[in-house]
């Protein structure tokens, strides 16, 4: 079997604003083979930038588009092809958008492998530690504490056992921050897990103060309170925080995640559509496992990323939760025909060959950027 083509399909809603909502656009990747098997992946990046990285012509040996690195190759040689893409993009890559673009092709290669071998992807990763994951609803803080309370009540009524609120007006003031968290906890009640995503809005001293203030509301973790480059701050914060500190969605490399673990984070959050795909996400999870830390996906995209996340998390013993984006955008809700329903707070791991997803081609046609 040989790879015959790589499609990079940019999708975008008619209106995009500056909210921290990644479901407003995406880059879908299709890897075609001469045996008719098509693998599907997704990139969480600037879609236009990632598309250019995939489609770029040859410049020289270590500056070529990712498509050129894999055309004509056996799609089952996943590790070798990952290396070829990384080496072929060293000149402009070694992380960032190039690594994010690699993610889409890598996920598609695992989808092809599962389809070709008649196995769900998690079995190819060594088998599942679980066949379902506890989903936490992931959503932005609302514009007011009262609206946050109302949304928390609705999500609790929908059967979620854990909810994360993030970004939005968080960081506006101490009064606002405390009111948002207080009302989120009040809306969820005492028995559901609450996660707080600060959205990189604090300096180190403020983050330490907020961690102690938020502890009253018993959050499961405080996520990304600091700039991703502030490793010294993360080390100071993790050493004194009464609650777990989580981060990683801005990282793309193994070196970056190693630095977060060295800083003492309790939870690392690789995004399978950013870190280099399933191949790299499973390595990050195992690296965290060796440190006896938790690995929980970051995912705020479509059903493609949800499926890929379910597979790599299922293959880890230290992955107790699934980030489950509840945004209502059509890309999040309708791009895949599979909806991944939450049943009693849990989402089943797909058992079909490959990722176990089917794209809705009408949705692709409707939102495709020419």
Give residue 248's region: left, alpha or beta (phi > 0; psi -120 to 50): left
Q: Are residues 136 and 220 in the same domain?
A: yes
Supply the CATH number for residue 199's domain: 3.20.20.120
* Average pLDDT for 291-314: 98
The pLDDT, as a whole number, for residue 328 is: 94
Q: How far apart are CA 238 and CA 243, in angstroms?
A: 9
* Average pLDDT for 181-209: 98
* Average pLDDT for 133-159: 97
- pLDDT of 146 over the 90 cut: yes
Per-residue tokens: 261:
């673990």
Q: Are residues 252 and 301 in the same domain?
A: yes
Q: Are residues 312 and 355 in the same domain?
A: yes
Q: Are residues 113 and 211 in the same domain?
A: no
Query: Residues 237-266: pLDDT tens digits?
Result: 999 999 999 999 999 999 999 999 999 999
The pLDDT, as a whole number, for residue 370 is: 86
* Average pLDDT for 168-172: 95
Q: Are residues 111 and 139 in the same domain?
A: no
Q: How far apart are CA 177 and CA 217, in angstroms?
A: 12
Structural domain containing residue 52: 3-118+362-367
Handedness of CA 59, 62, 66, 70 (dihedral sign): positive
Q: How far apart are CA 309 and CA 131, in angstroms?
A: 13
3-state class of 347 per DSSP?
strand
Q: Are residues 313 and 338 in the same domain?
A: yes
Contact 3, 73 (CB under 8 A): yes
Q: Are residues 93 and 176 in the same domain?
A: no
Residue 314 burial (10 A CB sphere; 0-12, 13-18, 19+): buried
Q: Which residue has the tokens 């309170």?
A: 225
3-state class of 146 per DSSP?
helix
Q: Which residue has the tokens 């075609």?
A: 32
Q: Are residues 155 and 284 in the same domain?
A: yes
Domain count within the chain = 2
Mean pLDDT taken over the chain: 97
Query: Residues 78-99: pLDDT tens digits?
Result: 999 999 999 999 999 999 999 9
The pLDDT, as a whole number, for residue 19 is: 86
* Average pLDDT for 294-317: 98
**DSSP states of 190-223:** SSSEEEEE--S---HHHHHHHHHHHGGG--SEEE
Pairing of strands 244-247, 294-295: unpaired
3-state class of 227 per DSSP?
coil
Q: How far apart are CA 141 and CA 148, in angstroms?
A: 6
Per-residue tokens: 36:
């008719």
* Average pLDDT for 168-189: 97
Q: How far apart are CA 125 and CA 119, in angstroms?
A: 11
Q: Are residues 238 and 330 in the same domain?
A: yes
Query: Residues 326-364: pLDDT tens digits?
Result: 999 999 999 999 999 999 999 999 999 999 999 999 999
* Average pLDDT for 279-299: 98
Q: Are residues 215 and 338 in the same domain?
A: yes
Closest residue by Cα to residue 78 from 48, 108, 44, 41: 108
Query: Residues 100-128: pLDDT tens digits?
Result: 999 999 999 999 999 999 999 999 999 99
Q: Are residues 327 and 219 in the same domain?
A: yes
Listed in order, strand segments (DSSP E) in the chain are 3-12, 25-33, 38-43, 132-140, 162-166, 193-197, 221-223, 244-247, 267-268, 294-295, 321-325, 346-348
* Average pLDDT for 285-301: 98
pTM: predicted TM-score of the whole model, two decimal places: 0.97
Q: Are residues 55 and 179 in the same domain?
A: no
Q: How many CB atoms lie within 10 A of CB 360?
A: 15
- pLDDT of 68 over the 90 cut: yes
Supply the CATH number for residue 9's domain: 3.30.390.10
Contact 9, 41 (CB under 8 A): no
The pLDDT, as a whole number, for residue 20 is: 85
């Amino acid at each position: 079997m040989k790879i015959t083509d790589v499609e990079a399909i940019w999708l975008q809603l008619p209106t995009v604003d500056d909210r921290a909502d990644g479901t407003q656009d995406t880059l879908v990747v299709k890897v075609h083979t001469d045996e008719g098997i098509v693998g599907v992946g997704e990139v969480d990046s600037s879609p236009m930038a990632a598309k250019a990285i995939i489609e770029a012509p040859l410049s020289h040996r270590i500056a070529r588009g990712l498509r050129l690195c894999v055309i004509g190759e056996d799609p089952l040689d996943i590790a070798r092809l990952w290396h070829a893409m990384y080496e072929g993009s060293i000149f402009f890559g070694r992380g960032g958008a190039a690594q994010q673009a690699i993610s889409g092709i890598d996920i598609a290669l695992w989808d092809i492998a599962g389809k070709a071998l008649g196995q769900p992807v998690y079995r190819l990763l060594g088998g599942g530690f679980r066949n379902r994951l506890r989903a936490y609803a992931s959503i932005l803080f609302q514009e007011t504490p009262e609206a946050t309370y109302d949304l928390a009540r609705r999500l609790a009524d929908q059967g979620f056992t854990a909810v994360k609120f993030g970004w939005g007006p968080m960081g506006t003031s101490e009064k606002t921050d405390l009111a948002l968290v207080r009302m989120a906890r009040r809306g969820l009640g005492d028995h559901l897990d609450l996660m707080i995503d600060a959205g990189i809005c604090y300096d180190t001293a403020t983050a330490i103060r907020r961690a102690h203030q938020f502890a009253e509301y018993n959050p499961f973790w405080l996520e990304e309170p600091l700039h991703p480059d502030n490793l010294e701050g993360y080390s100071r914060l993790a050493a004194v925080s009464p609650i777990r500190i989580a981060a990683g969605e801005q990282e793309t490399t193994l070196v970056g995640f190693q630095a977060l673990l060295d800083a003492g984070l309790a939870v690392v959050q690789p995004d399978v559509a950013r870190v280099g795909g399933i191949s790299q996400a499973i390595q990050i999870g195992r690296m965290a496992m060796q440190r006896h830390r938790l690995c929980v996906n970051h995912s705020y995209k479509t059903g493609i990323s949800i499926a890929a996340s379910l597979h790599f998390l299922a293959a880890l013993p230290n992955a107790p939760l699934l980030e489950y984006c509840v945004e209502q955008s059509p890309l999040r809700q309708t791009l895949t025909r599979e909806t991944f329903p939450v049943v009693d707070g849990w989402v089943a791991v797909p058992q079909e060959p490959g990722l176990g997803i089917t794209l809705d081609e009408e949705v692709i046609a409707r939102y495709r950027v020419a």
